[in-house]
Amino acid sequence: MNNQPLIPDRAATLSAGKTAAVTARTEHRGLHRLLRLRLSHVLDFAFLGSYLFVALFPIYWIIVSSFKTPLDTLAIPPLWLFKPTLSAYQNIFVFDNYGLYFFNTVVIAVGTTVIALAFGSMAAYALDRYPFRFRDVIAYALLGTRFIFPIVYAIPLFQLFNKFELLDTRVGLIIAYTTFSLPYAVWIMQSFFAGIPTDLDDAARIDGCSRLGAFWRVILPISAPGLGASAIFIMLLAWNEFLFALILAGGGMSRTLPVAASLLVGQREIQWNELCALATATIVPLLVFFGFLQKHLIRGMVAGAVKG
Amino acid sequence: MAVRSSRAHGRIEKHAWAYWFIAPTTLTIFLVFVYPLAVALWTSLHYDVMIRPGLYRFNGLENYRAMLTEPRFWSALKTTMFFFVTTVAVSMLLGLAVALRLDRNFGRWNWIKPLFLIPMVVTPIVVGIQWKFMLNSQMGVITYLARLLGIPVSAWLTEAGGAMFWVVAVDVWYYTPIVILLFSAGLSAIPGEVKEAARVDGASELQTIRYVTLPMLKSIAVTALLIRTIGGLRTFDTILVLTDGGPGRVTEVVNLYAYRIGFYYFDMGKASALGWLMLGVALALIVVYIRLLRATAKSYSQT
């Protein structure tokens, strides 16, 4: 202030005024911002917290209820605290066949994944490296397969499987599942291969590898993350698949967990604790997988959804 | 390296591998996709009812005509439209809101973020089961809480309004996570400098979202919309478990109706015809989606 000339020129006054005004505004905003920040945090907590609660509670509830006695499940008001029992699990796994259905589901999921990845990654590699003339057609065709409602080809598959005695077989289901697993495998792996420079292929081939050798020994190991992501995604799809399992295997010996659960729920007198136990058995492997592999799963899902 | 006997031989060799590589996939797709679709078309042109094999005969477009004049078809179509518009709208908005609020570094609490995605991992049938359990008119948790709050509830899954409401709500519960996932991916692709620049220019948070963030989310929004639409039209498992199309036909979507025709009435011909009609809808969707994609791509190049 001592430096100020006695008669300040207009520009200086203006700039000084402006500085003062900005300072005032910033100070005001500083306090304001502090208060606003707190409020937005609180709102976030409320909004996100209630969303998370709604998202997770049903899962928690069904897992907890699987440890109740039949009487406890019917209690009004619903019981939060009770004496847990494994009777429901005993009933379905020891005294009944649901262990077999669990096994079916595992076998079919793994089988589908293996085939989809084996066929799909090879096709994706060829599509990426080789200038097919109909590459665009194939891309659109793959996209198109996702649009077609499964019921459309589930019915003829049923008729065909009926004729070739593939109904109620695990192999049959694996074949049917390729309708959705193959396109996803090709889709996801194609975007991964596009990111691998062709120098690697060339180097391998100069060293004497055939195309298949280069693919098997060099490219595939490098695309392990992509394979991992696709594998998890496809396994999830195959595990949860219901329509094909219902139509092509139904209540037979090759039935999968989702179908088994739907049959239990369709009964007139539902044994809720057993139903909850079956439901829990169906989703717990998925939740465990999700817990350990969510990064890969998420990568697979995003890659499967977004093109390129 | 082996000496090639002739140039031509070398050229064929050079290309053959690609065809071998795509052979298994192409063959499988043909067997389980193209061929069944053709069979479906063929079946749709016949009277083909499984429990009446003796009456099998060609009847041209009769199945299609019957379907298009069947009131149950049109009510199923209306139900499907209402259902999917509602569930897509709600889950897109909700998913966007959650993704926007999650687009922040929570530091120590970052492990919470993946938890929001858990519902989409649950088997759809189990989703139906858990909600059916919670909405049970006698001992369901939600029923109990609703009654505590004074809402008169009897058996809402068997009442028209309640059934529709819950079918949509459950679908939203299941599908919103994928929307959150996609929008989060899109949001993380927006460089921080852009938002910083907006803040330096004096924009409030709401303004930043409206004029900066949202426009940059356009293409991922189209993808999310597409995925959500396909999912909404395909919903089958949850509806089957929750209401089985009921009460009456209130929640019977086209998917469910087609399944009924084929595996309750065993009329394969009509079911195949309905399937091919649905194919037409799917084709229309593809066209719309491609147009939308091109439009958003163009708006980017114009910026």
pLDDT over threshold 60, residue B71: yes
A262, A272, A305 ranked by CB distance to B223: nearest: A305
Instruction: Give the gap in angstroms from C-alpha A279 to the nearest C-alpha of chain B.
Output: 6
Buried b (16+ CB within 10 A) or exposed e, A245-276: bbbbbeeeebbbbbbbbbebbeeeebbbbbbb
Q: Is the pLDDT of residue B119 over 90?
A: yes
Question: Which A residues 109-138 touch B at CB under 8 Å?
Answer: 118-120, 122-123, 125-127, 129-130, 132
**Chain B residue numbers touching A145 (CB-CB < 8 A):** 29, 33
Hey, is the C-beta of A208 within 8 angstroms of any chain B C-beta?
yes
* pLDDT confidence bin for B167, thresholds 50/70/90: very high
For chain B, say whether A160 makes contact (Cβ under 8 Å). yes
pLDDT at A129: 82
Residues composing chain B: 303
User: Per residue in A209-262, pLDDT tens?
Assistant: 787 887 887 788 888 888 888 898 899 999 999 999 999 998 889 999 999 999
DSSP output for B63-103: HHHHHHT-HHHHHHHHHHHHHHHHHHHHHHHHHHHHHHHH-
Q: Cβ–Cβ contacts within 10 Å for residue A217, how many?
A: 12
Q: Is B38 left (phi over 0), alpha (psi -120 to 50) or beta?
A: alpha
Phi-psi region of A138 (alpha: psi -120 to 50; beta: other; left: phi over 0): alpha
Q: Quick one: pLDDT at residue A266? A: 84
pLDDT of residue B151: 81
- Domains in chain B (CATH in brackets) are 7-44 (no CATH), 62-302 (1.10.3720.10)
- Does B258 reach chain A within 8 Å, measured CB to CB? yes
Which residues, including other chains, have CB under 8 Å from residue B298's CB and lie 6 or more apart? Answer: none
Quickly state the pLDDT bin for B116 (edges 50, 70, 90).
Answer: very high
How confident is the model at residue B33, as a pLDDT?
Answer: 87
For an interface test with B, which of A92, A152, A289 has the most B Cβ atoms less than 10 Å from its Cβ? A152
CA distance B139 to A77: 7
Question: Measured between CB atoms, does B40 come within 8 Å of chain A?
Answer: yes
Taking the CA of residue A261 and the nearest CA in chain B, the distance in Å comes to 7
Interface test with B, best of A28, A148, A155 (most B CBs within 10 A): A155
Q: pLDDT digit of tens for each residue in chain A (308 aa)?
A: 444 444 444 455 555 544 554 555 555 555 655 555 677 788 888 999 999 999 999 999 999 999 998 888 888 888 888 888 898 898 888 888 899 999 999 999 999 999 999 999 999 988 888 877 777 777 777 777 877 888 888 999 998 999 999 899 999 999 999 888 999 899 888 888 888 888 888 888 788 778 788 788 778 888 888 888 889 889 999 999 999 999 999 888 999 999 999 999 888 888 899 999 999 999 999 999 888 887 777 777 776 666 43
Please state, in angstroms and as integers, the Cα–Cα distance from residue B30 to each residue in A110, A141, A146, A178, B25, following that order. 22, 12, 15, 11, 8
Neighboring chain A residues of B35 at a CB cutoff of 8 Å: 160
Task: Give me the interface pTM, i.e. the ipTM.
Answer: 0.86
In whole angstroms, give the CA distance from residue B153 to residue B146: 7
Q: Report the distance separating Cα B234 and Cα B254, nearest Å.
A: 9
The pLDDT of residue B303: 46
Q: Is B119 on the interface with A (CB under 8 A)?
A: yes
Tell me, rounded to whole angstroms, the distance of Cα B91 from its chain centroid: 12
B47 forms bridges with which residues in the sheet? Answer: B57
Mutation target to probe the A interface, by most A beta carbons within 10 A, among B133, B145, B182, B226 is B133
Retrieve residue B287's tokens.
Answer: 């066209």
pLDDT at position A308: 36
Query: Which chain A residue shows the shortest CA-CA distance from B185?
Result: A302
Q: Is B82 exposed, middle or buried (0-12, 13-18, 19+ CB in 10 A)?
A: middle
Closest Cα to residue A294, out of B180, B117, B228, B188? B117
A182/B contact by beta carbon, under 8 A: yes
For residue A2, give how far its alpha carbon lies from the nearest alpha carbon of chain B (Å).
Answer: 33
Give mean pLDDT, residues B174-182: 94
Where is pLDDT greater, at B286 or A43?
A43
- Give residue B12's pLDDT band: very low, low, confident or very high (50, 70, 90): low
Beta strands B46-47 and B57-58 are: antiparallel
pLDDT at position B200: 82
Give mean pLDDT, residues B79-90: 94
> B256: pLDDT confidence band, cut at 50, 70 and 90?
very high
Q: What is the CA radius of gyration of chain B?
A: 25
Tell me the DSSP string of chain B. -PPPS-HHHHHHHHHHHHHHHHHHHHHHHIIIIIHHHHHHHHHHTEE-BTT-GGG-EE-TTHHHHHHHT-HHHHHHHHHHHHHHHHHHHHHHHHHHHHHHHH-S--GGGGGGGGGGGGGGGS-HHHHHHHHHHHT-TTT-HHHHHHHHTT---S-GGGSHHHHHHHHHHHHHHHHHHHHHHHHHHHHHTS-HHHHHHHHHTT--HHHHIIIIIHHHTHHHHHHHHHHHHHHHHH--HHHHHHTTT-STTTT--HHHHHHHHHHTS-BHHHHHHHHHHHHHHHHHHHHHHHHHHHHHHHHHHH-
Question: Could you tell me which chain A residue has the CA closest to the CA of B1?
Answer: A208
Q: At what angle do helices B254-263 and B218-234 cross, to 10 degrees?
A: 30
pLDDT score at B158 = 83
Q: What is the mean pLDDT of chain B?
A: 86
Q: How far is A169 from chain B (nearest CA, A)?
A: 16
The encoded tokens of residue B39 equal: 């069979």
Largest CA distance in chain A: 106
Residues of A in contact with B12 (CB under 8 A): none
Q: Is B99 on the interface with A (CB under 8 A)?
A: no
The two structure tokens encoding residue A176: 């049917």
Average pLDDT of span B90-113: 88
Lowest mean pLDDT among A237-246, B183-192, B254-263: B183-192
